[in-house]
Amino acid sequence: VFTVPEQSPGPAGDFPLKASVPVTSVELVAQSSRYGSLWPLPQKVQLSDVSFKLTTSSFRIVDAKESSAGPSCKHLTFLNFSCHCVIFSTSTFVLWATSFEGNECDAFRDQPTRDKQHSPSLSVPVQPFAVLKAPKVWGALHGLETFSQLVYKDEFGTKNINQTTISDFPRFAHRGILLDSSRHFLPIKVILANLETMAMNKFNVFHWHIVDDQSFPYLSRTFPQLSQKGAYHPYTHVYTPADVKMVIEFARLRGIRVVPEYDTPGHTQSWGKGQADLLTPCYAGSKPSGAFGPVNPILNTTYDFMTQFFKEISTVFPDAYIHLGGDEVDFTCWKSNPDIQKFMEQQGFGQDYSKLESFYIQKLLNIVSTTNKGYMIWQEVFDNGVKLKPDTVVHVWIGGATDEEMHKVTGAGYTTILSAPWYLDYISYGQDWQKYYKVEPLSFNGTEEQKKLVIGGEACLWGEYVDATNLTPRLWPRASAVAERLWSAKDVTDISDAFNRLSAHRCRMVERDIPAEPLFSSYCPHEYKGV
C-alpha cells in the first residue's frame, strides 16, 4: 500500500469552471468536487480541511531512512520535475519517499510488469512532511502524480495542499491505450506526448499497433525492405531502431509497458511490398489477378520469415508480451488460389477456411513461444478454437455480444482484456466520455474465478481519421474516463462528481501543454497555448 496527501475541496476560486452538464435544460455550473481534481480517484481518500502553503524555494523529495531505494536513486527526483512540472516547494515541506522493495535502484532498472499491483499510499500527516510509501518504484510514480493532483491554488494564487491520507491501488493491472501508426504515421513527438498524458492518467500499457495494411513504418534490421517498400515514405515516415528505443525508454520511465502488435495473417498488405511471396496471390479465374490476400499459410518460407522476424521483435521490445493480432481475416483471396485449394484438400480442411487460419496461427504461436514471450491475440483466434498457451491474453473487441464473449473466454480459463466498449475512434456529438465511464467490465455472467481473469482493458484509437493534427485532443479526456474505470473502485460511478473532477483534470492536462478537449462550455484558468 501507499498513501498520498489528500485534497480538500478547493476554494471557489480554484477551478471555477462555468461548465454545464446538459442533463436538464438549465445549465449547471460545474462544482468543485469534494475530491478536488483527483483523477483517477484513489481507492481510499481521507480528507481534512487543514491546509499547508507551499512555496517554490525549498521543496525536496528525500528517501526515507527505511527506504531500500538508497541515496543514489535520483530517478524519482528527476522524473518528478521533468514529467509533471507541477511539484512545488515550501520552506519546510518535504515529500518523504519510502519503502521500495529491492536494492538501491534495481527496481527502477526493471521493466514495468503487469503481475503485481502497485499499491501506493501517501499521507500529509503533519506539517512539514508528506510520506509516500510504495512497494515498487512504479507505485511511487503513481503516488507522485497523485501528490501533484493534491496541490491547488487558492484565490491569491498561492499553492496549497491539505492534510490528507490516501491508500491506493489499481482495480485492474492492465490499463492500456492502443494507438495505430499505420493508417497514419504518428511522429515520435506525438507518441511521447501521449505517453506523458497516459502517465498523468495512470495508464500503464501502450499497445502500439505499429503496422497494418496501409503502411509498415517499423524499420526492421533483419528485413529493412519491409519499411523501405511498405512505409508511406522510406525515410520520413519510419520508426528507426533508435526511435523505437526512445519510445520504450520514455514509456518505462513513466511506468508504462510497450506491447507492440504485429497483426497477421490479415491486415498485412503493406508487408507484401517488401517481402516477396509472403502474401497469398489472389486469382481471377485461372490466372493471378495481381492482387494479394492474407499471409500465405502454405509455404515454408512464410514460417522461416516469421521465425526470423519475431526473433528480432522479441529482442527489440523488452515487454514479456507481444500482440499477434489475428483479427478480421478475409478468406476471399485464399478461396481463389488453386494452390491453397489443393492444400486445403490435402489437410482435410474441406471448405472451412477458419481451419486454415488456425493452422497458420498455431504455427505462429509455436514460433513466438520459442522466444519466451507471452502473447496477446484478438478474440477471433480464441473463437476459432486455436490451441493457446494457458497464459495467453485474449483481447475482446467485438461489440454486440461482448458479455457473452467475456463469459466464454474466462470460462475457458484465459486471461482477458476488454476493448469492445472503448473504441474511441468512433465519435459522436456530445459528452460520449459518460458512455465510456459507465461501462462495468465485470458485468458479464461468471464465477469469481472468471472475473479474476479479467486483468483490465484498453481504449483503442484506430487511425483512419486521426494523425498528428487531431489525435491528442480526440483521445483526451475521453480516454481519461476509461482510466478511472480501470483504476478506481467499482462503486466510483457518480457521473456528476466525475464531471467535476474530470473538468479540473482536463484543465490540468491543458496547463501541462496537452491539448485535451473540453467536456462542455467552460474555461480553464490557463488555456491551451497552441492552435
Of positions 27, 155, 404, 449, contacts a second copy by CB under 8 A? 27
- Name the segment binding a second copy (CB under 8 A); options: 106-114, 255-263, 369-377, 419-427: 419-427
Annotated catalytic residue 464: no
Looking at the Cβ atoms of 289 and 369, the one nearer to a second copy is 289
The answer to whether the Cα torsion of 444, 448, 453, 456 is positive or negative is: positive
* Contacts (CB under 8 A) with a second copy, residues 433-472: 463-470, 472
The b-or-e profile of 438-475 (16+ CB within 10 A means b, else e) is: ebebbebebeeebeebbbbbbbbbbbeebeeeebbbbb
Place of cell 523505437: 244
Q: How far is the CB of 217 from a second copy (least distance, A)?
A: 10
Is residue 510 involved in binding a second copy (CB under 8 A)? yes
Is residue 187 involved in binding a second copy (CB under 8 A)? yes
- Name the segment binding a second copy (CB under 8 A); options: 40-48, 101-109, 158-166, 212-220: 212-220
**How many whole angstroms separate alpha carbon 397 and alpha carbon 417?**
9
Interhelix angle 478-487/495-511, nearest 10 degrees? 120
Q: How far is the CB of 113 from a second copy (least distance, A)?
A: 29
Cβ burial of 308 (10 Å; 0-12, 13-18, 19+) is middle
Looking at the Cβ atoms of 99 and 215, the one nearer to a second copy is 215
Peptide bond into 265 cis (omega under 30): yes
Of positions 303, 331, 349, 528, contacts a second copy by CB under 8 A? 528
Q: How far is the CB of 169 from a second copy (least distance, A)?
A: 31
Looking at the Cβ atoms of 129 and 528, the one nearer to a second copy is 528
- Name the segment binding a second copy (CB under 8 A); options: 31-39, 125-133, 231-239, 340-348: 231-239
Q: Which helix (H) or strand (E) holds 247?
A: helix 241-252
Provide the grid cell at 256: 508504462
Looking at the Cβ atoms of 210 and 364, the one nearer to a second copy is 210
User: What are the distances in angstroms from CA 265 to CA 47, 50, 358, 437?
Assistant: 53, 60, 10, 34
Q: Is 172 left (phi over 0), alpha (psi -120 to 50) or beta?
A: beta
Of positions 189, 285, 300, 400, contacts a second copy by CB under 8 A? 189
User: What are the distances in angstroms from CA 436 to CA 13, 377, 381, 487, 503?
Assistant: 30, 23, 26, 14, 16
Q: How many residues bind a second copy (CB under 8 A)?
A: 50
Of positions 60, 426, 447, 449, contacts a second copy by CB under 8 A? 426
Is residue 473 involved in binding a second copy (CB under 8 A)? yes
Is residue 517 involved in binding a second copy (CB under 8 A)? yes
Peptide bond into 40 cis (omega under 30): yes
209 and 261 in contact (C-beta within 8 Å)? Answer: yes
Within 10 angstroms of residue 125's Cβ, the number of other Cβ atoms is 13
Q: Return the SS3 of 371.
A: coil
Is residue 525 involved in binding a second copy (CB under 8 A)? yes
Of positions 252, 254, 408, 474, contacts a second copy by CB under 8 A? 474
Is residue 514 involved in binding a second copy (CB under 8 A)? yes
Residues that bind a second copy (CB under 8 A): 18, 27, 183-185, 187, 189-190, 193, 213-215, 232-233, 236-237, 425-430, 463-470, 472-474, 510, 513-518, 520-523, 525, 527-531
Active site residues: 328
